[in-house]
Amino acid sequence: MKITDTPILTACLLVFGLTLIGCNQGESKGTESDAVTPAPPSSEHASDHDHKHGPNGYPVVDLNDGTEVEWDFDTASGSFLLIPPKAVADSVKEIAVKTSVEGTDNKYVFEAGEEPGTWTLVNMELGTAMMMGDSIERTLVITLNDGNSMTAPVAHFEGH
Q: What is the CATH number of the domain that holds 143?
A: 2.60.40
For residue 118, the enclosing domain spans 29-153
For residue 131, the model assigns a pLDDT of 79
- Domain presence at residue 17: no
pTM for the model:
0.65
- pLDDT, tens digit (0-9, with 9 covering 90-100), for 122-160: 999 988 888 777 788 999 999 999 999 999 988 655 444
DSSP result, 44-103: HHHHTS---B-TTSSBEEE-TTS-EEEEEEETTTTEEEEE--HHHHTTEEEEEEEEEETT
- Domain presence at residue 66: yes
- pLDDT, tens digit (0-9, with 9 covering 90-100), for 12-71: 444 444 344 443 333 333 444 443 344 444 333 333 445 688 888 898 888 888 889 998
For residue 113, the model assigns a pLDDT of 94
